[in-house]
Amino acid sequence: MTTKTGILLVNLGTPAAPTTAAVKAFLSQFLHDQRVVDLPRYLWCPLLHFIILPTRSPKVAKLYQQVWTEQGSPLMVISKQQRAALEQELKREGVEVPVELAMTYGSPSLDEGWQALKAKGVNRVILLPLYPQYSVSTTASVFDGWAKAMKKERNLPVVRLIRDYHAHPEYIQALAMSVRRHWEQHGQGEHLLMSFHGIPERYEREGDPYGHQCRRTAALLAEALGLDASQWTASFQSRFGKEEWLKPYTDVTIGGLPATGIKRLDVICPAFAADCLETLEEIQVQNRELFMAAGGEQFEYIPALNSDQAHIRMMVSLICRELA
């Protein structure tokens, strides 16, 4: 049988609309995932259904309304651009393979992404989760979703999972280029904060390499930019619940920087392959306000790599390595 390869580009997902009902459906699927919240179900499910979803959904819907565009959710719009750009770039390299998009939560699901590839005759899949740093709560959930999609298949396709690319030279180079470009256009701040999505500290103690990989990415980016230790910080954002999460916390760090004499701050979020609620609202709105209220004078958010040419070229390198 002839082997036909297809690429499945995967990200976290997004609500279908910036409404309470759509956000509730999305959060329900996301927060039911035991990889994301691993509390015993008899404790977590009542808490989720009777307290968290009814109270958080309307609040989060309002936040989504602030960042929603005419084309839809920023994450979905950018993900579609990435898919098209990757397919085009591969074609330019002489690699004629279909590229489909899937989301761990919401639509298009991993199963829908697989069905689209299967309809094109694909029997070998390269799964590319757009999480540069591996975590049990992200990359492992993609693996779970893929396994679930495979349950009804009689003839399983060959599958390769690109587990992480946190130290890939082209990823670091793409980040460094985006920072330099921003500095050329807006001037360089006094400090560069690299904010990564957080996870509970307990996950790291139990073997999740995410925190280590984030710190490695940050150190490599600082090195590529020629920054000394006093010019940059790595921090962790988006925590929820009462557990201790990876530190230092982004909001606490940002709120404390002006008192140390740093009035002009640049922030980049290297763990996010596409701009989304956590970057466009949490960082660019909430954390900007924190910084300014604490005495900051200039706050610059450096966008995610999105469909930047260097980012797409890096994806091509990752895929070509699997095709070899």
262-277 pLDDT per residue, tens = 999 999 999 999 999 9
Task: Please indicate, yes or no, if residue 278 is contained in any of the structural domains.
Answer: yes
Average pLDDT value for residue range 211-215: 98
305, 176 Cβ separation under 8 angstroms: no
Q: What is the pLDDT of residue 248?
A: 98
Residue 52, phi then psi, degrees to nearest 5: -65, -55
* Residue 181, domain member (yes or no): yes
What's residue 296's pLDDT? 98
In a domain, 73, yes or no: no
Question: What pLDDT is attached to residue 184?
Answer: 98
Backbone angles phi, psi at 279, to 5 degrees: -100, -45
Q: Is residue 247 part of a domain?
A: yes
Pairwise CA distance, residues 27 & 282, whole Å:
17
* % of the chain residues with pLDDT over 90: 98
pLDDT at 1 over 80: no
Number of domains in the chain: 1
Q: Is residue 102 part of a domain?
A: no
Contact 141, 36 (CB under 8 A): yes
Q: Model confidence over 79-132: pLDDT tens digits?
A: 999 999 999 999 999 999 999 999 999 999 999 999 999 999 999 999 999 999
CATH code for position 176:
3.40.50.1400
Phi and psi at residue 282, to the nearest 5° = -65, -45
**In-domain check, residue 161:** no
Q: Is residue 78 part of a domain?
A: no
**310 with 177: CB under 8 angstroms?**
yes
Q: Cβ contacts of residue 130 below 8 Å, gap of 6+?
A: 9, 10, 11, 79, 82, 273, 274
**What average pLDDT score do residues 144-151 get?**
98
Mean pLDDT (the chain) is 97
DSSP label at residue 42: H
pLDDT digits (tens, 9 = 90+) for 156-165: 999 999 999 9
Q: Is residue 319 part of a domain?
A: no
Q: Rounded CA gap, 256 and 230, in Å?
A: 15
d(C-alpha 21, C-alpha 245), whole Å: 29
| Structural domain boundaries enclosing 204 | 169-302
Confidence (pLDDT) at 98: 98
pLDDT in tens, 149-199: 999 999 999 999 999 999 999 999 999 999 999 999 999 999 999 999 999
In the chain, the N- to C-terminal Cα span, in Å, equals 19
